[in-house]
Amino acid sequence: MSDLLDELLADVRALVECESPSHDLEAVARSADVVAAVGTTRLGVEPEPIVLDGRTHLRWRLGDTPSRVLLLAHHDTVWPIGTLARRPFSVEDGVLRGPGCFDMLSGLAMALHAAAGLDGVTLLVTGDEEIGSPSSRGLIEEEARAAEAVLVLEASADGGALKTERKGVSLYDVHVTGLAAHAGLEPERGVNATLELAHAVLALAGLGDADLGTTVTPTAARSGTTTNTVPASATLAVDVRVRTRAEQERVDVAVRSLAPVLPGAALEVRGGPNRPPLEAASSAGLLERARSVATSLGQPAPGSAAVGGASDGNFTAGVGTPTLDGLGAVGGGAHAEHEHVLVDHLVGRTALLRGLVRDLLADPAPVREHVGGGPR
């Protein structure tokens, strides 16, 4: 193995073997310490720790010139403490395994190596991405507004494809209020919240548009208290995924306009857009640059993919900064028992990332133009 691959594997192992479930603040803090130690070794400078709402994030500003490229990663994972005991770090037959290795600790290790010695780069490593970035969103958006381009180290799509589109996400809770009554003696005196909820489910599901890639999915529902009582209340969670801001706004207006069908029932809608979409226009220029760099390195030009899942790249694209996602590890099984990384791709992907950053630092003009979203 090359020296770089040996170092990458050692760094991924150090990160994987410090478990970091997002909801465990002490675990995330311990993980941040490990990331800081590994990063200081590779980058030659200590990070700035940023603790927000008890969650630990790390920021490196590299070089003496103003930062122009933002590398974005996270060190929290979805795996609870104890997962490592039954799924330890391993490398066998060219496959690396361990909780969080694909999403996205290998990508984080790659970023630490790719950014070494560069001038004008910020590396931001957050600790709450897997739960929606509640504390780090403002920090991410602030850094993105100051950057010419954002490169996100989330794992690649199938076959190493870069993620050029991510759907925006909206999350809603629908609360139904009815009126309780005895289901056997006088059901007609009640207002059935379950029945009202059924009307709402059908209305919401009808807001989707398959041709536009818009999905409106009623998910977790609860209703009633006992089997012989007309339910007086019910709740419903709704997951919305959209490709464009226009669709996100259309669905938001429609969900908030939901009205009760049964006389005497009441509806309250809470929630709203959680992440704006990462649209193709935000990543197009960076994708072409990445393909050009790959060719110059003698690598196959990476493919592109539109995915339904969201990342912090949605936030950076949402403020109008060109964003390219999926630059991390090649493998599969994010959030699943078969999570893995293909070792043979680690060095090449790291070289691609470093080459792309250097290319952008030399000439950011083709991606500098504001591409939409919020103010910069």
- Residues serving a catalytic function are 76, 129
Adjacent-strand bridge partners of 275: 169
Instruction: Let me know: does 323 contact 282? Beta carbons within 8 Å.
Output: yes
Buried (b) or exposed (e) across 317-349, using 16+ Cβ within 10 A? bbbbbbbbbbbbbbbbebeeeebbbbbebbbbb
Question: Count of alpha carbons within 13 Å of 236, Cβ hemisphere only?
Answer: 27
Adjacent-strand bridge partners of 340: 97, 332
Rounded Cα gap, residues 308 and 243, in angstroms:
9
Query: What 3-state DSSP class applies to 37?
Result: helix
Structure tokens at 36: 């800081």
Q: Which of 139, 144, 125 is nearest to 57 (CA)?
A: 125
Match 């509640």 to its residue by tokens.
134
Query: What element of type H or E holds 6?
Result: helix 3-16
Rounded Cα gap, residues 169 and 313, in angstroms:
12
Q: Which of 169, 180, 165 is nearest to 303 (CA)?
A: 165
